[in-house]
Chains A and B, each alone.
Chain A
Amino acid sequence: MRFMIIVKATKDSEAGVMPEEKLIAAMAEYHEELQKAGVLLDASGLKPSSTGWRVKYSGGKRTTLDGPFTEAKELIAGYTLIQVKSKEEAVEWARRFPNPAVDGKEGEIEIRQLFELEDFGPSEAVERFREMGIAGRK
């Protein structure tokens, strides 16, 4: 099963403050551990929301909104995708994730499981999603 460890944005990450050497080293070490254990699938940091945009929908109308966006805690600054045997294993790996905030300030990560094929019951609509390759993968 796959889990995404989502790193929440902070004021610093939104301001484009690059993490200090120590944090980069801790992150590298953690991801090396994941890699050595064969559970790391993918990981990446995201640029501040000032370089991003949103598309808002209301009925048939859509509006594009350029960043930056203010509510840092609702923004994400990066993700790490892992593949493990059980939820408990994901919990244990997540517990070892270094504090992602600069200078050991307050940080937060959120862990979400990816949908998998068996999460969907038989349904014609779901089958159509599946055929498009949208509904979960292993």
Chain B
Amino acid sequence: MTATDTHRAIDAVWRIESPRLIAGLARIVRDVGLAEELAQDALVIALEKWPGSGVPDNPGAWLMATAKHRAIDLLRRGKRLERKHEELAREIEARQETAVPDLDAAIDDDIGDDLLRLMFTACHPVLSTEGRVALTLRLLGGLTTGEIARAFLVPEATIAQRIVRAKRTLAEARVPYEVPRGADRAARLSSVLEVIYLVYNEGYSATAGDDWMRPALCEDALRLGRVLAELTPREPEVHGLVALMEIQSSRLGARTGASGQPILLLDQDRARWDQLLIRRGLAALAHAQELGGADGPYVLQASIAACHARARTPAETDWASIVGFYGALARLMPSPVVELNRAVALAMLFGPAAGLEIVDALTSEPSLEGYHLLPSVRGDLLAKLGRSDEARAEFERAASLTRNARERELLLGRAGACARGSPT
């Protein structure tokens, strides 16, 4: 193996092991930032040693043992020697010397809980949304700062700064490293789900730039979701979110045409939908429903996605159920965006006029001002009603509002078709 090969192998080990490593260390040192530094130190030592010695059989245990030694060293001799650190060092050492013959086994017992603690901590409400996203991808996704920066199209320094600030905020706020219980748990869990879905959506529908989607982010989010589902098997909403992401991912290959242009759901070639992911999504959804979570917001959204996934042709879509799910979603979390989607489903069920009635009412909604999908949907319904001039104006307006270049092309294309009087 060449040095480059070894470095690559170490990168892979890092991606696999770093979340567990940081999670376990954070429990010992009670500081997520310090835990990550220690894990990084262990990585640096691995980079020095492994090219010569080869990757050890159990690289995770090796990294953990190395990081723990570093923790003791650092805490002992560090200039920042405080009583607390001294006690911690003694505690770690004591644990290593106690009757537990295999310390790593002891760590392993708790590793699931540790990962969950880390997830709750990285998504803590004390952090800004951007901070939560960056920290989650970094600590739990095993992504480098550079990878996160490229995914979000921002300079690497910006992401680095967000991560530093987030860690500092956690330390200053003395956020306890724990899995929240009781009433707090539900709210904190929805923050974790929100972060994961935000990452997913950033990938699924890139908000800016030339790409319509950045599938790598979808994969990262889906992986985090799958990990979380293993950690919290009894939470229906977690399975609901996983179901939603699996089903949406099943369409990734069908969402773009040969030249990268977006293809909307009803125009997609369903033979290109990934049946494996659909199967996984439907299974996750069934699981969420078995757990009694049919009414949760993610389970409802997954139920809608499942209606599309089950329909072999657009004509077979169960629009009545979809309208019902959107109605339930609107009651649960009233939002003009949900209402807009319900209007689309209603239009499919009862004709464009039924949808347009709701959409027209939404045009005075201040929160939708500047939201390109409103004129886009309105244009679509108007075009179907044969009101081409109005439709064209709406498509043009939508095109001027979207920040995504591919989507703008699509919308201008539809505006042009209206002008020519051809069906859109």
Q: Which residues of A are interface residues toward B (Cβ below 8 A)?
A: 35-39, 41-42, 81, 83, 85-86, 88-89, 91-93, 117, 122, 127, 130-133, 136-138
- Asked if B223 is an interface residue, CB under 8 A from chain A, the answer is yes
Asked if A133 contacts B269 (CB within 8 A), the reply is: yes
- Asked if B118 is an interface residue, CB under 8 A from chain A, the answer is no
- Asked if B16 is an interface residue, CB under 8 A from chain A, the answer is yes
Asked if B272 contacts A133 (CB within 8 A), the reply is: yes
Task: Collect the chain B residues with CB atoms within 8 Å of residue A92's CB.
Answer: 9, 12-13, 16
Please indicate which of the listed interface residues A36, A85, A122 has the most CB atoms of chain B within 10 Å of its own CB. Answer: A85
Task: Collect the chain A residues with CB atoms within 8 Å of residue B225's CB.
Answer: 38
- Asked if B215 is an interface residue, CB under 8 A from chain A, the answer is yes
CB nearest to B111 among chain A residues: A36
Give chain B's interface secondary structure class: helix
Asked if B271 contacts A138 (CB within 8 A), the reply is: no
Task: Collect the chain A residues with CB atoms within 8 Å of residue B389's CB.
Answer: none
- Asked if B11 is an interface residue, CB under 8 A from chain A, the answer is yes
Task: Collect the chain A residues with CB atoms within 8 Å of residue B70's CB.
Answer: none
Inter-chain CA distance A137–B249, complex, in Å, is: 10
- Asked if B384 is an interface residue, CB under 8 A from chain A, the answer is no
- B140 → chain A closest CB, angstroms: 10
CB nearest to A116 among chain B residues: B253
Instruction: Pull 25 A–B residue pairs with CB atoms less than 8 Å apart, ordered by A.
Output: A36-B230, A37-B227, A38-B222, A38-B223, A38-B224, A38-B227, A38-B230, A42-B276, A83-B223, A85-B15, A85-B142, A85-B219, A86-B8, A86-B11, A88-B8, A89-B12, A89-B15, A89-B16, A92-B16, A130-B272, A132-B271, A133-B269, A133-B272, A138-B215, A138-B249
Complex A-B, nearest 4 residue pairs according to Cβ-Cβ distance, in ascending order: A38-B226, A88-B12, A133-B271, A38-B223
- B356 → chain A closest CB, angstroms: 33
CB nearest to A136 among chain B residues: B253
Inter-chain CA distance A93–B59, complex, in Å, is: 12
Task: Collect the chain B residues with CB atoms within 8 Å of residue A83's CB.
Answer: 219, 223
The tally of residues in B whose CB lies under 8 Å from a CB in A reads 30
Task: Collect the chain A residues with CB atoms within 8 Å of residue B269's CB.
Answer: 131, 133
Asked if B9 contacts A91 (CB within 8 A), the reply is: yes
Inter-chain CA distance A117–B227, complex, in Å, is: 26
Inter-chain CA distance A83–B269, complex, in Å, is: 24
Task: Collect the chain B residues with CB atoms within 8 Å of residue A117's CB.
Answer: 253
Which chain B residues (217-269) contact chain A, with CB distance < 8 Å? 219, 222-227, 230, 249, 252-253, 258, 269
Give chain A's interface secondary structure class: mixed
Task: Collect the chain B residues with CB atoms within 8 Å of residue A42's CB.
Answer: 276
Task: Collect the chain A residues with CB atoms within 8 Å of residue B226's CB.
Answer: 35, 38
Task: Collect the chain A residues with CB atoms within 8 Å of residue B274's CB.
Answer: 137-138
Task: Collect the chain B residues with CB atoms within 8 Å of residue A131's CB.
Answer: 269, 271-272
- Asked if B280 is an interface residue, CB under 8 A from chain A, the answer is yes
- B59 → chain A closest CB, angstroms: 8
Task: Collect the chain A residues with CB atoms within 8 Å of residue B272's CB.
Answer: 130-131, 133, 137
Task: Collect the chain B residues with CB atoms within 8 Å of residue A130's CB.
Answer: 272
Task: Collect the chain B residues with CB atoms within 8 Å of residue A138's CB.
Answer: 215, 219, 249, 252-253, 274
Q: Mark B353-382, 1 if CB is under 8 A from A, else 0.
A: 000000000000000000000000000000
- B112 → chain A closest CB, angstroms: 8
Task: Collect the chain B residues with CB atoms within 8 Å of residue A81's CB.
Answer: 276
Q: Given known contacts A86-B8, A89-B12, what 20 new A-B pairs fall within 8 Å (CB)?
A: A36-B227, A36-B230, A38-B222, A38-B223, A39-B223, A85-B216, A85-B219, A88-B8, A88-B11, A89-B16, A91-B9, A92-B12, A93-B16, A122-B258, A131-B271, A132-B271, A137-B252, A137-B272, A138-B249, A138-B274
Inter-chain CA distance A83–B271, complex, in Å, is: 21
Task: Collect the chain B residues with CB atoms within 8 Å of residue A85's CB.
Answer: 15, 142, 216, 219
Inter-chain CA distance A54–B141, complex, in Å, is: 43
Asked if B16 contacts A37 (CB within 8 A), the reply is: yes
Task: Collect the chain B residues with CB atoms within 8 Å of residue A122's CB.
Answer: 258
Task: Collect the chain B residues with CB atoms within 8 Å of residue A137's CB.
Answer: 252-253, 272, 274
Task: Collect the chain A residues with CB atoms within 8 Å of residue B273's CB.
Answer: 133
Inter-chain CA distance A85–B19, complex, in Å, is: 15
Asked if A91 contacts B12 (CB within 8 A), the reply is: yes
Inter-chain CA distance A130–B255, complex, in Å, is: 12
Task: Collect the chain A residues with CB atoms within 8 Å of residue B227's CB.
Answer: 36-38
Task: Collect the chain B residues with CB atoms within 8 Å of residue A136's CB.
Answer: 253
Which chain B residues (361-411) contact chain A, with CB distance < 8 Å? none
Q: Mark B194-212, 1 if CB is under 8 A from A, else 0.
A: 0000000000000000000
Inter-chain CA distance A35–B222, complex, in Å, is: 12
Task: Collect the chain B residues with CB atoms within 8 Å of residue A38's CB.
Answer: 222-227, 230
CB nearest to B259 among chain A residues: A122
Inter-chain CA distance A83–B253, complex, in Å, is: 15
- A87 → chain B closest CB, angstroms: 8
Question: With A41-B276, A83-B219 known to touch, is A127 a contact of B253 (CB < 8 Å)?
Answer: no
